[in-house]
Structure 1
Amino acid sequence: MFRFLRRRDAEATGTAEAPEADVYAQAAERFWQRWDDLLPEIASALGDSVPHRIESLVAAALAEVHPNLTFAIEHGEKAVYALVVSGQADPELRPHTDAWMAAAPPADTLWEYHDSVPPVPDPTEVTVNLRGEKYPLADVRVVAQVDEAEGLVDVAVYHPGFSGLEENARRALTFLPLDATLGERLAADRLGRVETAELEPEGAIGLLELRELVRELDRTAAAPPES
């Protein structure tokens, strides 16, 4: 049995038009000016292992871009630190995060910047803690149906731990593996219908196979048409 959770709004592209785009760009520029001013204090807090000391300062600066954006300071993939800003897959926030990223300084050895939550290197090595129990994402199985015309993949997600979870926790364990596998941006762009599967479906694949399938669809969809 499948339980429907979400259908992505394929029409919601989040594209900004002038003069709104200019307003977003100006707000992003103000953030980066403020970020540059805060960097010595941020470096001091991180060096002292007390990041909470500067969280309110960064949050206040980011609120000038949009009050509904969230952020995290994490270990970077190539740099020491990563500043990750997220619109939580809300298409209305996409123009703001696009402007923020466009105005970002070049990454260096100390800082890199992401306008959405990136995928983890190997989601099958991740274990999610929910309600005091551990759920290895290596146990997740997914049925994926590709809609090439729409450029979307409909998925049904199964985990053997679903049976012991209430609705909200089951929903979390449905979406967390997808975001960990694809990253927030690719999941928002390329996933269509998302369902939970209460029994393991036939023809299911693992998360790494799902990643390659969705990335290949994204490459195909983004490619210019042949002349």
Structure 2
Amino acid sequence: MKWFPWRRRHAEHDTPVVEPDSDQVAEWLEPATENPRARAERFWARWYELLPQINSALGDSEPKRIEHLLCEEVAAIHPELHFSVERGQRAVYALVVTGQERPDLRPFTDAWQAAAPPEDMIWEYHDSVPPVPDPTEVTVNIGDHRLRLADVRVVAQVDRDAGVVDVAVHHPELGSLTDEARTAMTFLPLDATLGERLAAERLRRVETAESAPDHGITLLELRTIVRGLAGQDADGNPIEHTTPSGDA
């Protein structure tokens, strides 16, 4: 499902952004201006009230019925937050509310995540865009083009001292895309592979490679490299380092 609104790197074919009613949002924010926690708690109270309506719309495959409603509720936490409803990895659906790793928005997403209810069979909750389980199984529709992420190749230059990676991203059909769509297809595979937070933390420079690289790697190989730099295992979990014990 789409972002509402779509992120800053959206392709030109995307649907118009759904904007919240600014007067309505201002009215909602007034009683909760004391701190992000109050805004987050108000969101979750409203979430429970609206959940039957939300589940009904999604069950009918008509997410547009609740797009504007959710846009207003998220904007009541902070007008510059973005959100999406995605397929869940552990549940049927995932609700993602993100500040796109902006430090000034982190208090709001942190408070939102801290106040979130426990995950269940229907819903899971994320405060940044999570990686997809296998990006090579994803096909992206941009205009008339269907682009397989399995065809993406990446040139990665690792700076182990800094713990970051510079990348150049190539897809065979980049040359047939508009400039805006080409930019989207440069960043989208990285977010799908690493997740928004890890990509922001570990990717230093990102470029578009219009020519096929001689020594490109796959997205899954890039994931292994970046997670290793971040001290994570193949599943994205922190690697526990233990000091071997010995006789004194």
- Into which bin does the TM-score normalised by the smaller protein fall? 0.7 to 0.9
Among candidates 214, 225, 230, match of residue 213 of structure 1: 225
Of 133, 156, 162, the match for 1:150: 162
Of residues 186, 192, 197, the one that matches 1:185 is 197
Moved over 4 A (4+): 222-227
Alpha-carbon shift at residue 223 of structure 1 (Å): 7.3
2:170 aligned with 1:163, yes or no?
no
**Does 1:173 pair with 2:191?**
no
> 1:132-171 CA distances to partner (integer Å, 9 max, x unpaired)?
1222211111111122232211111112222223322221
| Matches of 1:50 and 1:165, distance apart in 2 | 29
Classify the secondary structure of the residue corresponding to 1:92: coil
Separation in structure 2 between the aligned mates of residue 88 and residue 212 of structure 1, nearest angstrom: 23
Name the residue aligned to 2:123: 111
Residues 172 and 63 of structure 1, relative CA distance in 2, 3 Å threshold: same
Residue 182 of structure 1: CA displacement? 0.9
Structure 1 residues 130, 39: closer, same or farther in 2, change over 3 A?
A: closer
Aligned length in residues: 205
Partner Cα separation in structure 2 for residue 196 and residue 48 of structure 1 = 39
> 1:10 — aligned with what?
none
Change (3 A) 1:189 1:136: same
Distance in 2 (CA, whole Å) between partners of 1:38 and 1:151 is 43
Q: Tell me, yes or no, if structure 1 residue 200 matches structure 2 residue 215.
A: no
Deviations 1:28-53 (A, max 9, x none): 11111111222222233333433322
Task: Provide TM-score, normalisation by structure 1.
Answer: 0.81
Structure 2 distance, partners of 1:127, 1:226, is 41
Aligned residue for 1:74, secondary structure, equals strand
Q: Give 1:105 deviation, angstroms.
A: 0.9
Q: Which has the higher contact order (CA 8 A, sep 6+)?
A: 1
SS at match of 2:156: strand
Which residue of the partner structure matches residue 71 of structure 2? 59
Q: Which runs of 5+ in 1 are unaligned?
A: 1-21
Q: CA RMSD in A?
A: 2.3
What amino acid sits opposite 1:196 in the alignment? T
CA–CA distance in 2 between the matches of 1:204 and 1:30? 48
| More helix by percentage | 1
Deviation at 1:211, TM superposition (A): 0.7
Structure 1 counterpart of 2:61, from 46, 49, 52: 49
